[in-house]
Structure 1
Amino acid sequence: MKKIIALIFTVCFITVTGFAQSGSDAIVGVWLNKDKDAHVQIFKNKNEYFGKIIWLKNPKKENGQDKLDDKNPEASLRSRQINGLEILKGFKYDADDTVWEDGTIYDPKSGKTYSCKMTLKDKNNLNVRGFIGVSLIGRTDIWTRVK
């Protein structure tokens, strides 16, 4: 009898752990931003989530040169290409609230970095909320999963 109870407990534990893991990694993949001009690949590194631009609708300026991070407040970073730029950093998954939080998002169009949190609206729509200070003062964009 003890073996059966132990087996049932083990199966339940593995099932719950499996669901928790898939939940935390649910944002991993490629997402189309709200302006539909960039794809951002979200990936996991250790226990944190990051995202980088992997595709631009218009990767070149009118003069044919690659778009650069020319709005960056740090002069030494202004020569970086936008394509390949890491714009999401340091997100941690909070299973209680099913939110990825405590990260930052960088906007290469303005050169500004914001605090950020992300929540899945459903499996194909990601709410990305950038804010300064408190989350109440900010903007939410909806990104769409790229299939």
Structure 2
Amino acid sequence: MRVMVASLAAVLLASPALAADPVQGRWITEEKDAVITIAPCGAKLCGRLSKFLVAPPQGIDQRDVNNKDASKRSRKLLGMPVLTGFVENGDEWRGTIYDPKSGKTYRSILQRKGSNQLTVKGCLGPFCQTQTWRKAG
């Protein structure tokens, strides 16, 4: 019996903990209009709008005109963080996502799906919408 318990304990200790796949890197949004670069921001991860693939209405100098906070409406979208405060939670990453088109911020969950896909979920209360972003080449 002791041998069986010791064997079981050895297997459990040798099993890796469920960990989230890394999400750092450059990702093309589902609409294929921008590249978001996810990287460490202190102890957490954030994602910045690093490139426009489709020019916004006011060109590459587009400002955050839809922000609910009037003091932020003059900041440039290019370089702005749209993913903030992401921390690993089991097999996913949790933080917030900002949508500059609506000016709204949502709870968000990121999860790798293979080497070239990232699911990006934005939630308001119990309602969520999921997009699939592709790895930028």
TM-score normalised by L of structure 1: 0.75
Alignment map for 1:27-106 (pairs within 5 Å): 27-59=23-55, 61=57, 66-95=61-90, 98-101=91-94, 103-106=95-98
Report if aligned partners of 2:108, 2:123 keep a CA contact under 8 Å in 1.
yes
Report if aligned partners of 2:21, 2:111 keep a CA contact under 8 Å in 1.
no
Query: Residue in 1 aligned with 2:104?
Result: 112
Q: CA deviation at 1:48?
A: 1.2
| RMSD across aligned positions (CA) | 2.3
Moved over 4 A (4+): none
Q: CA deviation at 1:72?
A: 0.3
Give the AA of the match of 1:32.
I
Q: Give deviations 1:77-136, integer Å, cap 9, x for gaps.
A: 1011111110000011123xx1001x10000011010000011111110000000123xx
Aligned identity (percent) is 34
- Inter-CA distance 81–93: structure 2 relative to 1 (3 Å threshold): same
Distance of 1:109 and 1:57 partners within structure 2: 15
* Structure 1 unaligned residues grouped into runs of 5+: 1-11
Q: Give deviations 1:46-91, integer Å, cap 9, x for gaps.
A: 43110000001244535x5721100001111101111111000001
Distance of 2:60 and 2:135 partners within structure 1: 29
TM-score normalised by L of structure 2: 0.80
Number of residues of Structure 1 aligned to a counterpart in Structure 2: 125
* Structure 2 unaligned residues grouped into runs of 5+: 1-12
1:139 partnered with 2:132: no
